[in-house]
Each structure stands twice: as structure tokens, then as C-alpha cells.
Structure 1
């Protein structure tokens, strides 16, 4: 009897914590045109987002803009102005928070008090090629249940559309900004991809798309396969996968305002 009561008491304590929901955002943020949210986001995800009153985000303005769009489909449980929205520090945006140097536990105080919390980034899945991993790590350390929701993840969409090896791949984030360092890094990734068959996936800030394409076509070998996906989930979205030789022979331009995902392999 005593053991049963103790176990029940322990479980009751655990269930007083709220959950941390990882809420994907549409991939059209920052683009010139926006799609109907229902075309890219599952209703189940939007329903959960609509009831959350506590949020952790990259940018409060963007988070509110997203939630305003959610409200048009499924009404928010509280007025937009009444939501509690906390931003990750600017240093996390610049240096990333995957190294373990940032302690995000204070951002999860509402969850410890029994409230569900949403984590959202500027586009796609938070903590994947975006800040947020420190919040997820803190939730695990605090015994808070983490619930990822379904939504668009540009890296996986681009990989699926590339025709490259989807059984073994690596996402390597951003490449160096310096032209010579970028070229050297590309040669290293190409060597790894050709030797092992592992697809190498990376991204770039949209306004550097043209510089990235130029370096790719100048640096990679003729028969290396290069895949570029841009504007995913937008009406103007495009995916092309071809050898570098053929890329060079066909005029190709990338919109410098449209996010793109690059992949190379064999």
C-alpha cells in the first residue's frame, strides 16, 4: 500500500510539468510571396500551436506574424497580445546554441509551472539548421516531455528531391564566407562524397546564393552531381539535380531572396 501511494505521488509530480512542443514554421518566411498555410502545415500542428500561450522563439515579431496566420485557420486560445513570448538571446543566433554553452533552463519556467510551451524558429523545424537545441536539451535535463510536431523541413525535402543517396547523408550547415575557404571546404566535402557515397547537404544565406553557385561550378569536378532546391513549398519552388558539367552548360540563376538547399554526391 505504501509503495503504491509513493509511486502515485511521484507520477503526479511528473505530470504537473507542461510539455515542450517543437512547432515547425512555414518555409515562406522572408520570401516575397506566401502560400496558404493549410497547403504546407498539418491541421493537427496548427491546432496545437493555437492553444499554446507560452513561446520561445528567435524573433518575437516573426512569431506573432506566424501565429496571426494560424489564427486565420484555427482561432488562438488567447488574444495575440496576451501570449507570453520569449526570445533566444542574439548571441545564440550568431554563434548557435548546439555547443552547450547557453543554459536555456530559465526559458522553461512556465513548463515547470505546468504550462505547455512552444518552440518556434524563423522557418522549418526549430533546432534543425536553426537555434533551439539548447531549449530542447534543457527540457530533457528538467524532465520536461519534448513533443516534435509535423511540418516542413527544407533539408529533408531537398534531399528527397535530389536523387542523391538518402541512406547516408550529412548536413554540414553553412560553409565559410571567405571565397578561398569556401572553395577548400567544397573540395573536402566533394572528396568525402565521392569516396564514401555519403551525400553532403548544406545551406547558404539567400543573398549569397549567386556567390555559392559560382564557387560550386568553378570548384567541383565535372561528373560530381549537384542538386539545388530553392523556394521549397512556394509556387515558384524548383529542384534541379545534374552533373556539374551539365550545370555549367545550362544557364542557371538563383534568386538572391529565396532560401536554397545544396547537395552534392555521386
Structure 2
């Protein structure tokens, strides 16, 4: 039996931003929307938000069957009180998500926002698909990290996505200074993100810890009508008194 394929279906970047839903056709190619409309099997971080995405798809390209008949399986999460699943249980959980593809059906993998498997737990499903010799097909769509990098004016030839910084203030300061030294030494742009309600705390930590001449770029609400990007030295940021919204996703980038 011919195996199905794993499609990496991009999402919009307006997840969790109240009253800011964008027209999908402004951020996703029509081919992506049409592909999403025909898929009957999905792997997702959250089934509820995936249904909301598919309702938006259906308004443009009718779904192949009623939304309630689609099979949406959530990515494995460790049981409460445990840091992670053991290796055997983890492998079994990821492989179970691929059963429709092994039976000949195409599967869509979707992230909460942006490209699946980039700063996203779906990367483990992609790895499992390769191990099972299932074809992986990435579809074009927005990546907040790459959009922020391209808009920053910082070094796009050498960069690293660091993810989240420590919540503890002392550990966070130490990590920022470590990354700044690495950035200056290698001329490598460092990209970090934070939960939106901690945006202001991260901005304060960066402005307190980075050197005055380090360049800092912030992209906030990318692809949204009120989205913006600003790049300046840390000294210039300090004098501007810029504030950050606490409900809009942002990407922070700096170059020592």
C-alpha cells in the first residue's frame, strides 16, 4: 500500500490576539488553503484552535467533509507531574499519530502560529515521519522568526534562534550577557521570544543587561494591521521609553 504524506501546513500569526484576525488570503497562498481544505487527518498542538483555523479555511475553500468528521489528534504531552515521557512511550505516541499515513492517507501538521516544526514541538513528528519513510512536504507560509530577522537589518547571514530566556532575573541577565558576547565575537544575530505577558519584563532585562552600542530589534504583531518593527542601539531604546503590549507576540533580536 502506498503511504500517505505529511504536509506541514502553516498557520497565521494572529493566534491569541483578540480582535486581530487577519484574512487568511493575505498571509497564506491559495494553494496552502486548498491543501488544508482537502486533508481529513490532522496532528496539532491544540484541537480547538485547529478547528478554528479550519473554519477560516472553509470560508475560502470548502472542506472535503464536515468539520466534526475530521480526525484531529493532539501532539503527545507528558503526564502531569512528569518532565517528559520515557523514550519508548514517546516513540509509540509519535508513531501512533502517523498511523493514517501508514494506511495511505495524507496528514496535516499544524502549529499554533506560523510554520510547523520551527520553534514548535511538531519537529518530533517530522523526525518520526522520516524514520517511517513517510514523505514530508513543507508548504509556504509565514515564519515570525524569519520575518523579524529580515525586517531587523541585523546580520541575516549568521543567526541563531535561542528560544526562551530564563525567568529567574539573575540567570536571565547572565544568559543575555553570554549571548551578547557570543554575538559580538561571531557577528551572529541572536533571536529570542517570550510569552506576550512577559514582553515588558524581557525588554527591561535586555535594556538593563546589553551594552549601549549593541543593536536591538523588536518585531511585534507581525502580519497584523498594528504590527511594527523597530531597530536601534540599546542606548537609543533606553532614551525612547518604548513600551511593549502584553497580549501581542513579539520577536527580539540583538547583535553585539
RMSD in angstroms over aligned alpha carbons? Answer: 1.8
Q: Write the deviation string for residues 65-112 of structure 1: whole angstroms up to 9, x where unpaired.
A: 0000000011100110000000012339x9799x99832111100000
Question: Corresponding residue for 2:101?
Answer: 111
CA distance in 2, matches of 1:101, 1:132: 17
Match for residue 185 of structure 1 among 175, 180, 183: 175
1:102 and 2:90 are equivalent in the alignment: yes
In the alignment, structure 1 segments of 5+ residues that lack a partner are: 1-12
Larger Rg: 1
Question: Corresponding residue for 1:3?
Answer: none
Question: Corresponding residue for 1:124?
Answer: 114
Match for residue 54 of structure 1 among 37, 41, 60: 41
**Cα drift, residue 179 of structure 1:** 1.0
In the alignment, structure 2 segments of 5+ residues that lack a partner are: none
Question: Corresponding residue for 2:58?
Answer: 71
Question: Corresponding residue for 1:7?
Answer: none
Question: Corresponding residue for 1:218?
Answer: 208
Q: Secondary structure at the match of 1:90?
A: coil
Question: Corresponding residue for 1:26?
Answer: 12
Q: Write the deviation string for residues 23-58 of structure 1: whole angstroms up to 9, x where unpaired.
A: 011000100211111111110111100000000000
Question: Corresponding residue for 1:202?
Answer: 192
Match for residue 134 of structure 2 among 139, 144, 168: 144
Alignment TM-score, normalising by the size of structure 2:
0.94
Residues 8, 137 of structure 2: 8 Å contact kept: yes
- Structure 1 stretches of 4+ with a deviation exceeding 2 A read 89-92, 94-97, 99-102
CA distance in 2, matches of 1:100, 1:156: 34
CA distance in 2, matches of 1:102, 1:69: 32
- Give the aligned length: 250
**Cα drift, residue 133 of structure 1:** 1.0
Alignment TM-score, normalising by the size of structure 1:
0.91
Aligned CA distance change for structure 1 residues 245 and 121 (closer, same or farther; 3 Å): same
Match for residue 29 of structure 2 among 17, 22, 42: 42
Q: Write the deviation string for residues 1-39 of structure 1: whole angstroms up to 9, x where unpaired.
A: xxxxxxxxxxxx5xx100000001100010021111111
Residues 100, 134 of structure 1: 8 Å contact kept: no
Aligned CA distance change for structure 1 residues 53 and 96 (closer, same or farther; 3 Å): farther
